[in-house]
Amino acid sequence: MVKRLKNYIGGEWVESSATTYTPVVNPATCELLGECPESTAADVDAAAKAAQAAFEEWRSTPMLNRAQYMYRLKTLLEDRFEDLSEMVVKENGKTRDEARGEVRRGIESVDFAASVPVIMRNDGVEDIAAGIDETTLRQPVGVFAAITPFNFPSMVPLWFLPTAITTGNTFILKPSPQTPISMELLFEIMEDLDLPEGVVNLVQGGKEASMSVMEHPLVRGVSFVGSSPVARIVYETCTKHGKRVQAQGGAKNYIAVMPDADLSASVKNIMGAAYGCAGQRCLAAAVVVAVGDMYDQLKDELVKQAKGLRVGYGLNETTQMGTVISTAARERITKMIEQGVQQGAQLALDGRGVTVNGFEGGNFVGPTIVENVGSDNILAREEVFGPVLTIMKADDFNSVVDIINKSKYGNAASIFTNNGKQAREFKYRVNAGNIGVNIGVAAPSASFPFGGQKESFFGDLHGQGIDSINFYTERKIVIERWL
């Protein structure tokens, strides 16, 4: 019997009212792991009502008690660390170490949420006028929801849920229907927290559930992570319905390698940034721009190392790169490579058609490197979200900054250099929200906001860090005089 996933609403596992189900498939082995319900507006309504019903009591639960749940959650997650990581490998296809890395990052967000009592402290001024005191209160808002992507099934939901509830809100999570089981496992683990019923709710599903969340009158705000076209829809829908929204979108991240960079350290970092998680990271290196005369050396070294990557099933400890998420994703990536070639690109390394012994049906795409890519080429402009690295040339620093700033995306950009002045100029002039200096994947830690500009982010308050506290709370100003 294939496992049919349930929703978690008001402290109970309940059947969805869905009439259609999405198969959840291990992308390496093709094993059917479960069926994800396409939850309906009625399911979202039940979750929103349960979350609303829990809100008043939860917001008046002392702050320190709310934070204690985070300490307990951390312990529970540490105890089940390997189970959570293994589930990520099975439903997403990444390697064990990559999955461990994402679960670790998720736990760091729980650590951050435990510090909310410190961050929530208010400020004020005594005698702002004669006998009048003025103070700020930070109050929770109500029901928040998060809609999350497939590529970090465990970490991305944890960017939001811990902080949203520790600040005193109640919460609905709608994970990706391609990777819903990691969150089923998280909610099973969270049952041991004995949170009051309705504080956290899980609604599995796809577009209908997302739209119902965004349109529901009881939902006060939405955190979204996914592709840019959907991020735009989420931003427009939520603002139309008067909700707070933070919508983190897709990316096309550039790495500039300056002539004075340390070649071997740069290549090591670029390899991880381009091929980690099979390129399915919003912070993945998509385009490397070699500045000046280092192009040939850099290309030769990247091709040599990329050829040597061991592609395989993530549960095998020797695997260095896993699968992409689905057959549809593999076909989309293959088609984009073909289009890029038709538009003039040349393949320095072709990962299409890679097969892995024992996993012949798996959705593998090998490391791919393309060159001679014009600025209008699809591989220079659009997010591939697969293990495809474009290498370009630029004459000098100013040209590389121009190339990067012409991109419609602005998620991340990195520079490899030993020149502090150029690194500073890069930080100053490049329009991207996460900047790396001699760092391949510029991933902010939990106490810093996750940057993103242009089509990579819609909204103003970002996920994580102080931004997330501001997003999940309302500031109220109190002006007092006692006669």
For residues 335 and 424, which CB has a smaller minimum distance to ligand NAD in the complex? 335
For residues 249 and 314, which CB has a smaller minimum distance to ligand NAD in the complex? 249
d(CA 49, CA 65): 24
Window contacting ligand NAD (CB under 6 A); options: 7-15, 87-95, 124-132, 143-151? 143-151
Q: In 3-state terms, what secondary structure has residue 85?
A: helix
Task: Report the residue from 184, 383, 455, 467 that binds ligand NAD according to the rule CB under 6 A.
Answer: 383
Task: Report the residue from 210, 212, 269, 407 that binds ligand NAD according to the rule CB under 6 A.
Answer: 210
Given the residues 36, 238, 277, 282, the one annotated as active site: 282
Q: Is 411 in the site for ligand NAD (CB under 6 A)?
A: yes
Report the DSSP beta bridge partners of residue 171. 144, 200
Contact string (CB under 6 A) for ligand NAD, positions 227-246, x = contact:
x--x--x-------------
Q: Is 446 in the site for ligand NAD (CB under 6 A)?
A: no
d(CA 321, CA 323): 7
Cβ 288 to ligand NAD shortest distance, Å: 18
Window contacting ligand NAD (CB under 6 A); options: 52-60, 80-88, 149-157, 349-357? 149-157
Strands (E) in 226-363, as ranges, are 244-248, 253-257, 285-291, 346-349
Residues 6+ apart with CB under 8 A from 151: 92, 277, 280, 281, 282, 325, 385
In 3D space, the residue among 245, 190, 202, 291 whose CA is nearest the CA of residue 10 turns out to be 202
For residues 397 and 457, which CB has a smaller minimum distance to ligand NAD in the complex? 457
In 3D space, the residue among 369, 336, 186, 343 whose CA is nearest the CA of residue 270 turns out to be 369
Task: Report the residue from 221, 226, 366, 436 that binds ligand NAD according to the rule CB under 6 A.
Answer: 226
Tokens read off for 11: 């402290």
Q: Is 34 in the site for ligand NAD (CB under 6 A)?
A: no
Q: In 3-state terms, what secondary structure has residue 133?
A: strand
Asked if 30 is an active-site residue, the reply is no
Task: Report the residue from 25, 225, 337, 400 that binds ligand NAD according to the rule CB under 6 A.
Answer: 225
Strand order across the 132-140 sheet: 124-129, 132-140, 473-481
Residue with tokens 């991933």: 443
**Active site positions, annotated:** 282
Binding site for ligand NAD (CB under 6 A): 147-152, 156, 174, 176-177, 206-207, 210-211, 225-227, 230, 233, 248-251, 282, 383, 385, 411, 450, 452, 456
